[in-house]
Amino acid sequence: MSMKDCRVTFDVSIGICVKDSERTIREAIVSIVNQSFDKKRMEIVVIDDGCKDQTIPIITNILSKTNFSLRIFSTNGGGLTKARQMVIDNSCANLVIFLDADMFFPPDFVQKQVELMEKNPSIGVAQGTMIGRKSRSPVAELEDLSFSSSFEIGIHRNWRRNPQALGTGGSIFRVAAVEAVGGFDKQIKGAAEDADLTIKIKNKGYSLAISDAMFEHEFKRNLKSLWKQYTWYGFGMHYFYHKHGSIRDTMMVYFWPVTFAWSVIRAVLVFRATKKKIAFLLPSYNFFRATAWWFGFLNAHLKGYGHE
């Protein structure tokens, strides 16, 4: 499976898969340049998934002024799953951290993630703790309040203590664990490539973890973008459902009555802690997200995605 030709090995590869991300990529790359981790022990592997804007020139311009080892590959528009796998195939390190173009790592992020993996060889994947990028957009603020670990209850709290699957962006992967399960499933057309891979790694005997290393994520700023994102999630999870047999907890979270009831409780908790009146929009907001998720899920069902 490997295509790598490593004359120099590193402790960690930073995998960056991009497609038309010129609005946010500059800050994302600068956040890597500012890492406290020894630059000689890091490499950067960029996958161009069909960029038609200035994303790649921005990356090369910034990193040309540094001592980073940089390699750039192209999927020829092959999609995110193929891009993720290309990072693994071309990594010259035992660990890979994925940085998405709309994510920003504080200076100690890589150091904390690498140290966690070095001290805990049983961990196959560790996801950082995500916080929302400061934004004036009400949609982004509501998304941040929905994701914040400060107000977790029920299923969400259990997921954090004992994650069954993890996301890719902001996560550190043990390359040996990824290769042991055959890597990313290239048949996946939408989202869920992360859940599919990490649950396979867990089933292989590795543990999954959510670390204390925080990173910032820029959430969607308007309802149109949010709808597109969650229909994509639902579409991908339909494939995951047919492949793995059950997504009970995820379906429960997006089941409208549960979504609404959970959001009411969370709204009260958020308002008590922050005094932000926008918290009371959480029930309607999460109802909207759940509707988008089910729309994507049912659309995948009608198209037979995953039925084979």
Whether residue 120 is contained in a domain is answered as no
**279 occurs within a structural domain:** yes
Q: What pLDDT was estimated at residue 191?
A: 85
Classify the C-alpha dihedral 254-100-77-222 as positive or negative.
Answer: positive
User: Which regions in the chain score pLDDT beneath 50?
Assistant: 1-2, 154-155, 157
Residue 264 lies in a domain: yes
Q: In total, how many domains does the chain have? A: 1
Query: 250 lies in a domain?
Result: yes
Residue 255: predicted pLDDT: 83
Can you give the pLDDT at residue 150? 56
pLDDT given for residue 1 in this prediction: 41
8 Å CB contact between 116 and 12: no
**Does residue 251 belong to any structural domain of this protein?**
yes
pTM of structure: 0.89
Confidence (pLDDT) at 151: 53
pLDDT tens digits for range 44-57: 999 999 899 999 99
Alpha carbon separation from 283 to 74, 221, 223, 258 (Å, rounded):
42, 18, 15, 10
pLDDT at 262: 82
What backbone torsions phi and psi does residue 169 show, to the nearest 5 degrees? -60, 130
Note whether residue 258 is domain-resident. Answer: yes
Domain of 280 in residue numbering reads as 222-302
Domain contains 277: yes
Q: What share of the chain is helix, strand, coil (3-state, %, to 5)?
A: 50, 20, 30
* In a domain? residue 7: no
CA distance linking residue 209 with residue 125, whole number of Å = 6
- Give residue-wise pLDDT tens across range 227-259: 999 999 999 999 998 888 877 677 777 888 888
